[in-house]
Amino acid sequence: MIEVKHISTSFGEKIVHDDISLKVNKGEIFGILGGSGSGKTVLLKQIIMLNEIQKGQISIFGEDIKKLTMKRRDYIKRNWGVLFQFGALFSSLNVIENIGIMLKENTKLPKDLIDDIAYTKLRMVGLDTRVGTLYPEELSGGMKKRVALARSLALDPSILFLDEPTSGLDPSSIKAFNSLILDLRDMLGLTVVMITHELITIKEVLDRFCIISNGKLAITGTYEDALKVNDVTINKFLKLQKDDFGK
Amino acid sequence: MSKFEISDNWEYFCLVDKIKFIDSFFVKNSHSKEIIFDFLNLKKVDSSGIILIIKYLVLFENNKINVKIENISEKHQKMLNLYKENYTQKEPVVEYKSSSLEKIGKKSIKTIERFGSFLSFQGKIFTYLFYLLLHPSKIRFKAIVNQIEVASIPILPIIALALFLVGFVTAYQGADQLGKFGASIIIVEMSTMSMFREIAPFLAAVIVAGRSASSFTAQIGTMKITEELSAMRTMGLDIDIFIIIPRIIALIIIMPLLVFFADMAALAGEMVIVKYHLGISYTEFINRIYEYVEIRHILLGLAKAPLFGILIAVIGCYRGLQVKSGTDIGKYTTKAVVDSIFWLIIVNAIISLLSIKLGF
């Protein structure tokens, strides 16, 4: 589905990525992990064509994203959904219009059907119908994330990119969010790439993950694989998370 | 008993035809007792498609028509269940219509409230200014100097060019008209006086409003959103003393200087055009000003400058504090510029009237 080959990135003196390669398979939930400032978001942004690729190659659906025609680029963009860290909802539109915008722009469906679709998705992400007419500034952080998830699911994408989808949510919401992601994957065959810090998400949701540390991949594999490895950074990372969670 | 075949692809980009199809089926069968949805030939369906199907399922059910689903694959059944469970229709919104009288009343009360809060903000600022006069050690000199630099140096070229051209143009036009009476020499004192009293102070203030009022609103608004202001408050750092007063004092100090600079730029414009159009030399021009233009004209212009400075800074800061979310910044920045120019015009007009009546 996604293939990252020999990506190197540096900002001035600071080397963010040093020859990173990874592969995300179809139908899998893949995690990008790492301490803060380790370049997870930069890598994600390079994959979703927001940041320039300095060195290396990234392909999605088997196509090199640097060499896409306009048409293919549009096609790929319509086939993925992106959930930004703080939701990135359109502030001039209300919740329902935010969710329905892709359908409104890309189809000629009647408004009442688009509204029905938007309301159904709103309920799927666990929000009340009354939220529909509110504007983003009236929502809390967690609600914004759910609305943003609903929006990114509007066109039934085949890949979903999530940037810290559960940070700042309460534990029960995290659980609900995790099972929602798993359900969606099973139901719709989604491929999910997410940046996360929650141990519970790492343990229960991710099929595989990679840890970026000092610009290199410390490991790529499952949670069990990672626990077996005797590496200071990985152990530190997972153990620290465990302790946090243990509280 | 009629059968509806759900076949081929039901995806968002090809749904428009399906809607016609399923709608006509619904109209035709709205009185039958039982209908069948046959999923046998369904190839691909996405959430939009399945929600469309559910929409009509629900419509049939609401009309007390029994719907049977046949030949559905396990995957599609799962999807159907998931979306049916969550299917929600838009609730009809009951719109409350208010009478125009009510609207006028509400709007007036809001306007009065807003004006009141602006006045109380001004009151607070002046108490702080007075307080700082009594406790000069609390004045943030470094912040003031910093603001002075930021608010004045970059706009000097703009003021110079704008006022030079305005002086140039007014003198040229005026000389042309006065020439009809053979009195074109009067243009020297005429345009200089109007420049010193009205045009230069006002234009300088407008340029400062465009630059400083907007930047004050944007800066303070951003600080509010990033919760810098809240952080300062919790640390016991008074935002009025740290953020607002320095900006106001900075504008009070720089406005007269900028007005004087504007006066000189306008004078230069006049001198140039008068020399080349009327053949009056620079020395002659200056001598004539010395003879006919009293010092009070330039003093009046300089005297109202600090007032303009206060007005611009207070409006800019006040609008900045009104910002509540990131999207407000643009709105309030626009408001700050529009408001400050509007009030500049009003205040300038009042001062102009008063000064003539009082003989300044």
Summarize pLDDT for A131-166 with one digit per residue, the tens: 888 888 888 877 888 888 888 888 888 888 988 888
Q: CB neighbours (10 Å) of residue B13?
A: 15
Q: Quick check: A124 pLDDT over 60?
A: yes
Residue in A with minimal Cα distance to B53: A113
Q: Output the CATH code of domain B2-85.
A: 3.30.750.24
The torsion angle over the Cα atoms of residues B174, B178, B184 and B187, rounded to 10 degrees, is -40
Residue in A with minimal Cα distance to B84: A120
Pick B95 or B153 by higher pLDDT. Answer: B153
Q: Do B48 and A91 touch (CB under 8 A)?
A: no
Task: Tell me whether A69 touches chain B (CB under 8 Å).
Answer: no
Residue A120 with chain B: CB contacts under 8 Å = 47, 51, 54, 83, 86-88
Residue in B with minimal Cα distance to A183: B82
Three-state secondary structure string covering B120-151: HHHHHHHHHHHHHHHCHHHCCHHHHHHHHHHH
Q: CB neighbours (10 Å) of residue A37?
A: 10
Instruction: Return the structure tokens found at A46.
Output: 């390079």
Between strands A55-60 and B8-10, the pairing is unpaired
Between strands A191-195 and A159-163, the pairing is parallel
What confidence score (pLDDT) does residue B12 get? 81
Instruction: Identify the band that residue A247 occupies on the pLDDT scale cut at 50, 70 and 90.
Output: very low
- Which among A83, A113, A143 has a CA at the least distance from the CA of B15? A113
- Specify the residue for token string 């009343």: B105
| φ, ψ dihedrals at B348, nearest 5° | -60, -40
Q: Quick check: B91 pLDDT over 90?
A: no
Residue intervals of chain B classified under CATH 3.30.750.24 are 2-85
Q: Return the SS3 of A28.
A: coil
Pick A166 or B270 by higher pLDDT. Answer: B270
Q: Quick check: A245 pLDDT over 50?
A: no
Task: Tell me whether A139 touches chain B (CB under 8 Å).
Answer: no
d(CA A227, CA A233): 12
Q: Do A155 and B12 touch (CB under 8 A)?
A: yes
Instruction: Return the structure tokens found at B174.
Output: 């005026």
Task: Tell me whether B84 touches chain A (CB under 8 Å).
Answer: no
Task: Tell me whether A13 touches chain B (CB under 8 Å).
Answer: no
Q: What is the mean pLDDT of residues B236-251?
A: 90
Residue in A with minimal Cα distance to B14: A107
Q: Do A137 and B327 touch (CB under 8 A)?
A: yes
Residue type, B224: K
Summarize pLDDT for B142-192 with one digit per residue, the tens: 999 999 999 999 999 999 999 999 999 999 998 888 888 888 888 888 899
What confidence score (pLDDT) does residue A51 get? 85
Cα A49 to Cα A41, A53, A69, A82, B336: the distances in Å are: 12, 8, 13, 11, 37
Return the DSSP state at A130.
Answer: G
Contact B86, A120 (CB under 8 A): yes
Count Cβ atoms within 10 A of the Cβ of residue B241 and give its class: 0-12 exposed, 13-18 middle, 19 or more buried: middle
Q: CB neighbours (10 Å) of residue A14?
A: 10
Contacts 24+ apart (CB under 8 A), B121-127: B121/B314, B121/B318, B121/B321, B122/B314, B124/B240, B125/B240, B125/B244, B125/B245, B125/B248, B125/B314
Between strands A63-64 and A55-60, the pairing is antiparallel
Distance of residue B120 Cα from the nearest chain A Cα, in angstroms: 27
Contact A163, A41 (CB under 8 A): yes
Distance of residue B54 Cα from the nearest chain A Cα, in angstroms: 10
Return the DSSP state at B101.
Answer: H
Kind and range of the H or E element at A22? strand A14-24
Task: Tell me whether A222 touches chain B (CB under 8 Å).
Answer: no
Q: What is the mean pLDDT of residues B5-22?
A: 80
Highest average pLDDT, of A128-137, A206-215, B5-14, B350-359, comes from B350-359
Task: Tell me whether A128 touches chain B (CB under 8 Å).
Answer: no
Summarize pLDDT for B191-236 with one digit per residue, the tens: 999 999 999 999 999 999 999 999 999 999 999 999 899 898 888 8
Task: Tell me whether B12 touches chain A (CB under 8 Å).
Answer: yes
Q: CB neighbours (10 Å) of residue B105?
A: 12
The torsion angle over the Cα atoms of residues A56, A58, A59 and A63, rounded to 10 degrees, is -60
Neighbouring residues of A60: CB distance < 8 A, sequence distance ≥ 6: A1, A2, A3, A47, A76, A80, A159
Q: Give me chain B's average pLDDT, please.
A: 88
Q: CB neighbours (10 Å) of residue A180?
A: 17
Radius of gyration of chain A (CA): 18
d(CA A132, CA A121): 11
Residue A123 with chain B: CB contacts under 8 Å = 86-88
Count Cβ atoms within 10 A of the Cβ of residue A77 and give its class: 0-12 exposed, 13-18 middle, 19 or more buried: middle
Interface mutation vs chain A, best among B48, B74, B224, most A CBs within 10 Å: B48
Contact A175, A149 (CB under 8 A): no
Q: Do B48 and A109 touch (CB under 8 A)?
A: yes
Task: Tell me whether A100 touches chain B (CB under 8 Å).
Answer: no
Q: What angle do CA A226, A232, A235 make, to 5 degrees?
A: 40
Residue in A with minimal Cα distance to B44: A188
Q: Do B87 and A137 touch (CB under 8 A)?
A: no
- Which among A241, A110, A183, A179 has a CA at the least distance from the CA of B82? A183
Q: What is the mean pLDDT of residues A227-237?
A: 71
Q: Is the pTM of this model over 0.95?
A: no
Residue A124 with chain B: CB contacts under 8 Å = 82-83, 86
- Which among B256, B274, B282 has a CA at the least distance from the CA of B200? B256
Task: Tell me whether B95 touches chain A (CB under 8 Å).
Answer: no
Q: Do A123 and B326 touch (CB under 8 A)?
A: no
Neighbouring residues of A219: CB distance < 8 A, sequence distance ≥ 6: A210, A211, A225, A226, A229, A231, A234
Q: What is the mean pLDDT of residues B249-273?
A: 94
Task: Tell me whether A133 touches chain B (CB under 8 Å).
Answer: yes
Q: Do A113 and B82 touch (CB under 8 A)?
A: no
| φ, ψ dihedrals at A220, nearest 5° | -130, 125
Edge-to-edge strand ranges of the sheet holding B66-70: B2-5, B34-38, B66-70
Pick B260 or A3 by higher pLDDT. Answer: B260
Cα B148 to Cα A71, B252, B255: the distances in Å are: 52, 10, 10
- Specify the residue for token string 């001198």: B271
Pick B253 or B27 by higher pLDDT. Answer: B253
Nearest CB partner across the interface for B91, out of A129, A156, A187: A129
Nearest CB partner across the interface for A103, out of B48, B54, B83: B48
Q: What is the mean pLDDT of residues B122-141?
A: 89
d(CA A50, CA A27): 24
What confidence score (pLDDT) does residue A241 get? 56
Q: Do A116 and B48 touch (CB under 8 A)?
A: no
Q: Quick check: A201 pLDDT over 60?
A: yes
Q: Give me chain A's average pLDDT, please.
A: 82
Q: Do A113 and B327 touch (CB under 8 A)?
A: no
Nearest CB partner across the interface for B90, out of A92, A110, A116: A116
What confidence score (pLDDT) does residue B3 get? 77
Nearest CB partner across the interface for A156, out of B46, B55, B86: B46
**Judged by CB atoms within 8 Å, which residues 145-204 of A form the interface with B?**
153, 155-156, 183, 187-188
Residue B89 with chain A: CB contacts under 8 Å = 115-116, 119
HSE-CB at B119 with a 13 A cutoff on CA atoms is 6
Pick B14 or B214 by higher pLDDT. Answer: B214
Indicate the length of chain A as a whole number.
247
What confidence score (pLDDT) does residue A240 get? 58
Residue in A with minimal Cα distance to B325: A137
Q: Quick check: A243 pLDDT over 70?
A: no
Q: Quick check: B318 pLDDT over 90?
A: yes
Q: Hey, which bits of chain B come out as E strands?
A: 2-5, 8-10, 34-38, 42-45, 66-70
What confidence score (pLDDT) does residue A246 get? 43
What confidence score (pLDDT) does residue A188 get? 76
Q: Do B325 and A137 touch (CB under 8 A)?
A: yes
